[in-house]
Amino acid sequence: MRKNKNHTRNVIKKLTSVVLLVGTCAALLAGCGKSKSDQVIKVGAVPTPHAEVLRIVEDNLKEKGYTLEVVEYNDYVLPNKALNDGELDANYFQHQPYLDDFNAQNGTDIVSVGSIHFEPFGIYAGKTKAISDLKSGATVAVPNDTTNEARALLLLEANGLIKLREGAGISATAIDIIENPLNLNIQELEAAQIARSIQDVDIACINGNYAIQAGYTVKQALAVEAADSLAAKTYANVVAVKAGNENSEKTKALIEVLQSDEVRSYIEEHYDGAVVPVF
């Protein structure tokens, strides 16, 4: 009888050990999975210059224990949707006025956590090679999203081509034009399409990143925003995260490496004034 009891106790001990071992392995596997996920920083960006700048800091993030994954987009809408849906940890492609407008229009809660650079917005020649050569009825391409259209119109105004309603500011649209001496035809296009359509218009107002992507340099522009202007402060490109993640370890690590002397030097040496660091 005693032998049977000892045998039963041994079986119970072995079963208990197996259960504990399985539980420990499962916990370790779950912990490993979570740890691996936490070590990846997934950032959405447009190809130029944002994705290029991000790749400069890959090694710096590795030293901090993170793997950088850059997801490239070719428009200004999808990277915010992906961030809001939790598909990204952060994005880097937009300025604050665009972000504010996107949140207002889409009911999202995305916040800026750091300014990185400014891309001077420029007027580039299409069929007409100089601003002084513009004829009555000339066609001018501008971005069709609220903040970038306003930026284009303000640049046209600064160059004496139009006059905007007082107070229109960074919310200006074509309906705010109160003086248009040349009766310019303001053609609103998706920002990413303007450089590709430049041969069809007289002049085009192009975002800095799309101008670079199309092979233009700041020196080729007929007019640009000044690097020390209000626009430089207003339209600095930011790293954005979903609200609540502003102080996460990932966010802190990403901002620290992007706002570094190495990144400042890279920007100054590689973009010939088309991209200007602001940190």
Domains of the chain are 38-120+233-277 (3.40.190.10), 122-224 (3.40.190.10)
Which regions in the chain score pLDDT beneath 70?
Answer: 1-36, 227, 230
Question: Whats the size of the chain, residue-wise?
Answer: 279
Q: In angstroms, rounded to a whole number, what is the distance separating the alpha carbons of residues 155 and 148?
A: 11
Can you give the pLDDT at residue 170?
Answer: 83
- Percent helix, strand, coil in the chain, to 5, is 50, 20, 30
Q: Is 86 left (phi over 0), alpha (psi -120 to 50) or beta?
A: left
Q: How do residues 163-177 score in pLDDT, each as one tens digit?
A: 999 999 888 999 999
Can you give the pLDDT at residue 98?
Answer: 92
Nearest-CA neighbor of 235 among 76, 103, 119?
119
Amino acid at 134: L
Can you give the pLDDT at residue 241?
Answer: 98
Q: In angstroms, rounded to a whole number, what is the distance separating the alpha carbons of residues 83 and 17?
A: 45
Can you give the pLDDT at residue 18?
Answer: 42
Can you give the pLDDT at residue 34?
Answer: 44
Chain centroid to CA 263: 16
Q: How do residues 252-261 score in pLDDT, each as one tens digit?
A: 999 999 999 9
Q: How do residues 210-234 score in pLDDT, each as one tens digit?
A: 998 999 998 999 999 876 776 777 8
Can you give the pLDDT at residue 10?
Answer: 54
Can you give the pLDDT at residue 35?
Answer: 57
Amino acid at 79: P
Residue 97: phi and psi, rounded to 5, are: -60, -40
